[in-house]
Structure 1
Amino acid sequence: RVQLEEYLPADAAARAVAKAGEGAEVALVFGRERTGLTNEELQLCHAAVHIPSDPEFSSLNLAAAVQVLAYETRMQLLGAQPATDAEAGLREQAASHEQMESFFAQLGDTLDEIDFHKGRAPESAMRKLRRLFLRSEPSEQEVRLLRGILADTQRMARLAQAGGKGS
């Protein structure tokens, strides 16, 4: 199971409203009532929400979970103060979901090219690296910098492999 940082509903709503106020893409993703989200779906999420409930009735149905998050988000929106134009202009644009997924694909390819995993399954390391980078919430510029580093690493790996074949 994918381990994600967990938030209480009010904290998750505050974070979502703050990120949306910065111009970031925000989505609340709900799983199926019987099975929740798949590992693949969880892999795309940045955090999880834990709704405390009575231990004898440990899960809420989907409608109730949606209602709790919708309520908390609405409460946050009612109390949120919009950022001034000057404040918004000082922030770098957060990397989009697509930019992060492209970065993760390139990171996975690069780690394979440099034989980082040494024959071990790469899934565990990639899950941990995804959590690390998603938690840091890099900007578009930071993702471009990281992808440049990966591109140079890939180029150097190819040069090393070509040099090793001729020896």
Structure 2
Amino acid sequence: MLQNIRVVLVNTSHPGNIGATARAMKNMGLAELVLVEPRSFPHPDATVRASGADDILAAARVVATLEEAITGCALVMGTSARDRHIPWPLLDPRECGQQAVRQAAEGGRVALVFGREYAGLTNEELQRCHYHVHIPADPEFSSLNLAAAVQVLTYEVRMSWLAAEQLPAIPEKMQSNLRGDQKVTADELELFYAHLESTLVEIGFLDPARPRHLMSRLRRLYGRAGIERKELNLLRGILTETQAVARGLPHKRRDK
């Protein structure tokens, strides 16, 4: 599906922006780059900024006109940062991603068109687009770097594609890292609370004759934390070492 979506850069002035665009595309799984009369390409600065996305630069097509760049596309969306005299169907980046993926899923080719660094797309060029896309940046500082704008739209394309394919945004391996170890059981927590209470008594922080509500408050604190087993083992280890120090026994230094 993503192979049906191309990125088109019009009259790019700085070759580094072409390389950064290639990198942004590769990050998000897009591969087709079309350049309309770039000022300087190929160029070493493009290769450096691509940071490994050399295959996209090598396959990039250079054409003379926007018409050539969007040939065969059933859907063309051009970025626009300014109000235009003639109202045009306007999308935000999320809607752009959804429209692009929907069209690509039906087999139609899609073009995401980006204009010049200093002036964007002309009115004539924008009128060749089915939709205009506006990135809602802070109006006090709304000028985005070209590659940053490409990254915003290609990110939204990828998120829409993941949703359409019913794929997780976070890979399973990373999800397991986020989930961490297994949550502790109630009986394991009870052993921890007993260990914690005995340690606090031993170091004089808790007076068993006047316990007040200390352990209740600590139970609420740790219960709210959703402790994982590795974390619990760490806490139990701290308590064990604390008891060793309190008793004047040899203890292990964990910072070595």
The bucket for the TM-score relative to the shorter chain is 0.3 to 0.5
Bigger share in helix:
1
- The structure with more strand, counted as a fraction of residues: 2
Q: TM-score normalized by structure 2? A: 0.31
**TM-score normalised per structure 1:** 0.46
- Work out which of the two has the higher radius of gyration on C-alpha atoms and give 1 or 2: 2
Q: Which has the higher contact order (CA 8 A, sep 6+)?
A: 1
